[in-house]
Amino acid sequence: MGSRVQGNLTEPILNASRPGTLAGLSMTILKFSETDPLMFRLILLIGAIMFLLSSFFIFFFTLYPTRRVLWILTSSTFLLGLCCTITSSVILLVLI
């Protein structure tokens, strides 16, 4: 019984940490790309913000799975974060 309660308490944190890790990686790249073009940095910043919002929404979706709007917000912000990351990677490849 104790492990079931502990699992219910840690599951939202574990689910939210996955997109949060991607946001942290994006912010790390942003820190080391001070000399890169502004467009690259803005797209990377928007991607990091989208991953942070996705992490926030997935945390509450795990707590309240019946709220459909949380699932829609989670998936849309995660996909926007992925699109921004892919776009910034393409811009970086074109520049180099």
> 1 pLDDT exceeds 60?
no
3-state class (DSSP) for residue 37: coil
76, two tokens: 């849309």
- Alpha-carbon distance of 20 to 40, in angstroms, equals 20
Share of the chain above pLDDT 70, in %: 92
What ranges do the domains of the chain cover? Answer: 2-95
pLDDT, tens only, 19-55: 888 899 889 988 888 888 888 899 999 999 999 999 9
> 2 pLDDT exceeds 60?
no
> 3 pLDDT exceeds 90?
no
